[in-house]
Structure 1
Amino acid sequence: MEISLHENRILVTREEKQGKQFAAKIRHYDGHPIEVPLLQISCKDLQEHYTFFQQLTNYQWIFFTSANGVRCFFQLAKRYNIDTKVLKLLKIAAVGHKTEEALKDEGFSAAFIPSVYNAEVMAKEFFHVYHDISPVLIVRGSKSLDILPAAFEERSIKYDAMEVYETTSRVDMKTRLNKTLKTGKIDFITFTSPSSVETFHSLADVEINVPIVCIGTTTEKKAKQLGFHSILVPEEFTVDGMIHCLGKYLLKKELNNNG
């Protein structure tokens, strides 16, 4: 199916660098992106990180729960002059193919990727195949949910969590966000994480009456908790999936209007 966004005005709330990539895709499909980055991603450098790197060979598996985690992990490894070839001795799990793409950029690939790109499915499907896997290293961010740690604890699996990046709200975007919303010229709002939903909800002073597009069910859950309605969720939990979902929604709407 050929996708077109028909010049719809789509609010992109993603972190600035990734938001620009999202916006470029929206333009490619004839949409009009409006960028208001509500999050900032910063790699963290803690003394404990060096200890984790020194002990990598102690782990059987390393879990990457986002592409940001991959990038910051390897950035830290470079800073500490760590020979990452040691990862060849470990098995790697990635939450989705975008995370694996980031791994491939570093010369690695994942031995496990879930069929649905979220931590709940990752844990369920992983333990359906693998059992005796202690110990595990989880590479994550400051806002990561505790779904994987809880799954490991439930099964008495030893793990360490390595927090390699910080997600913070861009409160400096409050004026820009509300100015954009008050124009009344937004057709859709996109959210690519629960954090982006939370930040939007805390900063927006304008009632929202347009559909929102959530990258996956975890983000959708947060949106519902905060009172959002008319939520679209793609079959594939990626930015490309979001655009495809929007295109299908618009096509169906057009067919109904013409019918």
Structure 2
Amino acid sequence: MQSNLPLKGKTILLTGTSKTTTIVDNITALGGHAIIAPLIETCERMDSNDAERLHCVNQFDWIIFTSQNAVDAFASKMQRHQFSAENFRGKIASIGTKTTSALEKLGFQVSFMPSVFSADIFVKEFPSIAGNLPSCLFIRGEKAKSTLKDGLPFVLKEWTVYETIERHDQTSVIINCIHHNQDVTVIFASPSAVDVYARDVASHVGWQATRIAAIGHITEAALEQYGATVNIMPSVYTMQAVIEEIMKVGDKS
């Protein structure tokens, strides 16, 4: 294998939302073949009270974002109702480099990010810097688990700003890819995508037909519940870290 093309001969299936397409150029430059087959998409949940709720955000000491999708939906509301980062006084807590980068592009300064990009680590580390009985608002998606609400030792208000929609139009693309390529790695970044794949794809080809990569131990656990063996799960929960791990492994036999 050529050292300057460490992904040569490898096919990488991206199952997350279409936002994952930013990694495609990187995979291609490394000699790999990227196939975008999103099994989920997100859409903003719009409400007639959005402007009022944006004003109410200033009542909170902390505003918490755990996904780039939540930032994007919140940004859409800000733009629609002519808000900017300067309109908000609360501190910002974020999970993940993509989430933080999206917030910074909007003009926010992130005051806290956990050492591991996961909600269960967030609830362990956040209280020590959050202050005494802080008021917190969690900007979330409809499928967000109750980890923050159950795990934090103070009251957490929530605002659901986006919904996750399952996509079933990519099934044949994924199955054909698996049948026609020998070294395929499927990357999962959320339990929602795992659920769709399990029903639509694994039920036909099984879990052993490809190498399985997971971003985050929550996604890893979802895969293992279906009986899948997770071959790649980097300690840093980013797409780039997964690609770096794929470069290290041999061919899929």
Q: Is contact 1:93–1:111 with CA below 8 Å preserved after alignment? A: yes
1:229 aligned partner: 229
Cα drift, residue 158 of structure 1: 2.3
Cα drift, residue 84 of structure 1: 3.5
1:257 aligned partner: none
Cα drift, residue 103 of structure 1: 0.7
1:142 aligned partner: 142
1:185 aligned partner: 182
Q: Is 1:85 matched up with 2:83?
A: no
Counterpart of 2:196, as a letter, is T
Cα drift, residue 192 of structure 1: 1.2
| Between 189-198 and 179-188, the greater mean CA deviation after superposition | 179-188
Whole-angstrom distance in 1 between the partners of 2:196 and 2:240? 23
Q: Which has the higher helix share?
A: 1
Q: After superposition, where does 1:5-20 map in structure 2 within 5 Å?
A: 5-16=7-18, 18-20=19-21
Whole-angstrom distance in 2 between the partners of 1:97 and 1:19? 14
Counterpart of 1:146, as a letter, is S
Whole-angstrom distance in 2 between the partners of 1:244 and 1:79? 39
Query: Cα–Cα, structure 1 residues 118 and 186, in superposed 2: closer, same or farther, change >3 Å?
Result: same
Q: Is contact 2:7–2:27 with CA below 8 Å preserved after alignment? A: yes
TM-score (norm 1): 0.88
Q: After superposition, where does 1:46-85 map in structure 2 within 5 Å?
A: 46-85=47-86
Unaligned runs of 5+ in 2: none
Whole-angstrom distance in 1 between the partners of 2:238 and 2:128? 24
Unaligned runs of 5+ in 1: 255-259
SS of aligned partner of 1:172 = coil
Counterpart of 1:21, as a letter, is T
RMSD of aligned residue pairs (Cα, Å) = 2.1
Q: Percent identity?
A: 26
Cα drift, residue 136 of structure 1: 0.8
Counterpart of 2:109, as a letter, is S
Cα drift, residue 131 of structure 1: 4.2
1:4 aligned partner: 6
Cα drift, residue 79 of structure 1: 0.9
Cα drift, residue 76 of structure 1: 0.6
Cα drift, residue 83 of structure 1: 4.3
Counterpart of 1:226, as a letter, is Y
TM-score (norm 2): 0.90
Q: Is 1:196 matched up with 2:201?
A: no
